[in-house]
């Protein structure tokens, strides 16, 4: 159940509001013009509900620091409206924006790109599991993530990666057939749904990491575009990769030979692209 928190100036005895639908979210914003945090994750607002929420934000202009609207069935029209509202409402304190899993495509992505320059304190931008963000909008979002030095982008721990800190490897599952490496030897990024935008950012970080022997970016909705970007960065690494995992990324039969050609020294046990289904 999603909740919203008003500013800390309110009495501590006031419990968070229970937000169940667009009516309750809009009413809560109207009743709390000093709202600093809004968590509507998982509320099935749809495009129309997000558009109503966007109007409420534009009219009330709450000083939001955190806006979480992941998995709200938002589609392009709703997420575009939210982005436009954020961009026009001078949300200079907003540091976390999460729009993960909302069916964002070109229109919504371009609206987000347009809004980002008005968010000077943004450090966390959640856009994972929006597999239709690709092409020019993906490149623009990635460029912003790089230039703004975001701490987190599409769930990827960018601040840690820039410091050379690799995410911990999950414990090995019984019967799992794959080589294993030391904690500082494998870049393991799984299940963020980061798409091509995340791939671009990671590809820029890979050359800065030292001592890599393996790269795993599976279940990331990379598609052909993102998979080729990551593969090229891995293939150009100063030392030869011993294991590259790109499974569950919807890589087409046409793109797989192109990736394989970048790693002629790896067999199918050490270069994985098509096992484990799709994203």
Instruction: Please give the structure tokens belonging to residue 14.
Output: 């006031």
- Asked whether the predicted pLDDT for residue 12 surpasses 70, the reply is no
Confidence category of residue 274, pLDDT binned at 50, 70, 90: confident
> Can you give the length of the chain in residues?
279
Confidence category of residue 7, pLDDT binned at 50, 70, 90: very low
CB 265 within 8 A of CB 232: no
- Find the radius of gyration of the CA atoms of the chain: 20
Among the ranges given (4-13, 64-73, 81-90, 234-243), the one the predictor scored with the smallest mean pLDDT: 4-13
Instruction: Please give the structure tokens belonging to residue 10.
Output: 């309110």
Over the stretch 242-254, which tens digit does the pLDDT of each residue have?
A: 999 999 999 999 9
- Asked whether the predicted pLDDT for residue 276 surpasses 50, the reply is yes
Q: Which residues pair with 2 in a beta bridge?
A: 19
CA distance linking residue 188 with residue 77, whole number of Å: 34
**pLDDT for residue 76:** 87
**pLDDT for residue 36:** 96
Helix (H) or strand (E) holding 97: strand 96-98
Question: DSSP 3-state assignment of 245?
Answer: strand
- Domains of the chain by residue range: 2-122, 164-272
Taking phi over 0 as left and psi of -120 to 50 as alpha, with beta for the rest, 247 belongs to beta
**pLDDT for residue 180:** 86
CATH superfamily of 164-272: Ribonuclease Inhibitor (3.80.10.10)
Instruction: Please give the structure tokens belonging to residue 61.
Output: 């202009």
Burial of 175 (0-12, 13-18, 19+ CB in 10 A): exposed
Over the stretch 203-223, which tens digit does the pLDDT of each residue have?
A: 999 999 999 999 999 999 999
The rounded mean pLDDT for the chain is 91
**pLDDT for residue 18:** 74
Helix (H) or strand (E) holding 124: strand 124-126
Distance from the first to the final alpha carbon of the chain: 26
CA distance to 95, 162, 197, 234, per residue, from 135 (Å): 26, 25, 9, 21
- Asked whether the predicted pLDDT for residue 52 surpasses 60, the reply is yes
**pLDDT for residue 16:** 52
Tell me the average pLDDT across 28-40.
95
- High-pLDDT (> 90) share of the chain, %: 83
Its pTM stands at: 0.91
**pLDDT for residue 17:** 60
CA distance to 103, 124, 218, 248, per residue, from 227 (Å): 20, 24, 10, 11
């Amino acid at each position: 159940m999603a909740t919203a928190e008003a500013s800390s100036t309110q009495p501590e005895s006031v419990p968070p509001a229970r937000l169940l639908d667009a009516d309750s979210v809009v009413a809560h914003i109207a009743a709390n013009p000093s709202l600093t945090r809004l968590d509507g994750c998982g509320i099935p607002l749809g495009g129309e509900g997000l558009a109503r929420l966007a109007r409420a934000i534009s009219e009330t202009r709450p000083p939001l620091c955190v806006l979480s609207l992941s998995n709200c069935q938002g589609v392009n029209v709703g997420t575009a409206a939210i982005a436009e509202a954020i961009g026009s409402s001078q949300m200079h304190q907003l540091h976390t924006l999460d729009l993960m899993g909302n069916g964002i495509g070109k229109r919504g992505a371009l609206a987000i790109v347009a809004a980002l320059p008005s968010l000077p304190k943004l450090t966390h931008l959640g856009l994972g599991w929006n597999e239709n963000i690709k092409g020019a909008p993906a490149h623009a979002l990635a460029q912003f993530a790089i230039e703004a030095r975001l701490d987190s982008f599409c769930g990827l721990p960018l601040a840690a990666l820039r410091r050379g800190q690799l995410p911990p490897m999950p414990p090995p599952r019984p019967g799992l057939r794959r080589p294993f490496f030391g904690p500082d030897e494998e870049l393991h990024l799984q299940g963020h749904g980061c798409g091509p935008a995340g791939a671009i950012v990671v590809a820029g970080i890979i050359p800065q990491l030292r001592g890599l022997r393996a790269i795993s970016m599976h279940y990331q909705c990379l598609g052909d575009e993102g998979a080729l970007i990551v593969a090229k960065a891995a293939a150009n690494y100063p030392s030869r990769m011993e294991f590259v995992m790109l499974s569950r990324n919807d890589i087409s039969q046409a793109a797989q030979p192109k990736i394989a050609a970048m790693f002629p020294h790896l067999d199918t046990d050490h270069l994985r692209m098509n096992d484990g289904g799709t994203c």
